[in-house]
Amino acid sequence: MHPAKSVIYFTTASGAGYGLLVWLSVMGAMGIIPADRTFGMVGFGLAFFLVISGLLSSTAHLGRPERAWRALSQWRSSWLSREGVAAIVTFGPTGLYALGWVMLGQNTGLVGLLGILSALLCLITVYFTSMIYASLKTIPAWNHRLTSVGYLVLSLMSGALLMLVLQISFQMGHTGLMIKLVVGLSALAALLKLTYWRSIQKSPATSTAESATGLGRFGKVRMIESPHGEDNYLLKEMGYKIARKHALKLRQIALVSGFIIPMALVASLGSIAGSYALPVSTLALLSAAIGLAVERWLFFAEAKHVVTLYYGESAV
């Protein structure tokens, strides 16, 4: 599949934003983080910016972005529509919780219940986003049991990194807990991605040129002539190819930059001077951002649509 920049930004930015909202909501509702007004304004402001900018960027990939609102009406059958509805609904409790935190100086008790609801709705929205891809049987690499799990873990991991940087910046305390969460989630995310990559590489093809054309009983099928004299929309969007050697290098970059370096830097925070904590945690966040962008690019670039069987692919 063609890795559109708008969709890459959408899945990484909104995922991180929802992850940050989860940690703000849970840690605030549990009383771990006090309802500091400045911290709340910056934390929720950053989270809402990432979520909203990500959602808006996703419309740039549509043929008629101005009609994106019409997708909301198909929630009974479309995961895209369900994601849109869930995103809108989530703004209600998260916005009220943010107001309670910033304006009333409260993030526990009855206000804290809004926080728990907000965290749950954020996770549901991320899950719905993942199902836009995981539900597509025509793209075997996405129609995978680890697609949704990966989306949720990456969202929580990137959100935890953002939360850690904010905690250190505002000297909010309880960074030890978040350090453990970041290290654990980074290790889990790395394991999930390695398992996913191995699975899509080793899994047998679900469709072949023979099964797609129904001519398998006559022997091996090969294309004599291309259906089109020049590239069309299907080939540009669904026939994108990346060499295996390049994919391997990019996987290594995603693994090292996205998970190993952030995990090592964050783990070192417990043994370095306090004055170095902010630059080290910020470096971990930047490294993770680069790695996750590469991982997301690969998620799209390595996916093959079964329609490519009619354009020269032998198996998908």
Digit-coded pLDDT (tens) for 75-92: 888 998 999 999 999 999
* Percent residues over pLDDT 70 in the chain: 92
Which pLDDT score is estimated for 278?
Answer: 94
Which pLDDT score is estimated for 127?
Answer: 98
Structure-block tokens of residue 299: 């998620």
| DSSP letter for each residue of the chain | ----HHHHHIIIIIHHHHHHHHHHHHHHHTTSS---HHHHHHHHHHHHHHHHHHHHHHGGGSSSGGGGGGGGGGTTT-HHHHHHHHHHHHHHHHHHHHHHHHHS---SHHHHHHHHHHHHHHHHHHHHHHHHHHT-TTSTTTSSHHHHHHHHHHHHHHHHHHHHHHHHHTT-S-HHHHHHHHHHHHHHHHHHHHHHHHHHHHSPPS-BHHHHHT-GGGS----SS-S-SS--HHHHHH-----HHHHHHHHHHHHIIIIIHHHHHHHGGGGS-GGGHHHHHHHHHHHHHHHHHHHHHHHHHT---GGGGGGT-SB-
**How buried is residue 66: exposed, middle or buried, by Cβ count under 10 Å (0-12/13-18/19+)?**
exposed
Which pLDDT score is estimated for 68?
Answer: 67
- For the cut 70, the answer to whether the pLDDT of residue 166 exceeds it is yes
Which pLDDT score is estimated for 229?
Answer: 65
Alpha-carbon distances, residue 13 vs 16, 58, 87, 155, 269 (angstroms): 5, 11, 14, 9, 25
pTM: 0.92
Domains parsed from the chain with CATH numbers? 5-311 (1.20.1630.10)
| Lowest mean per-residue pLDDT among 11-20, 203-212, 263-272, 300-309 | 203-212
Angle at 82 between CA 80 and CA 88, to 5 degrees: 105
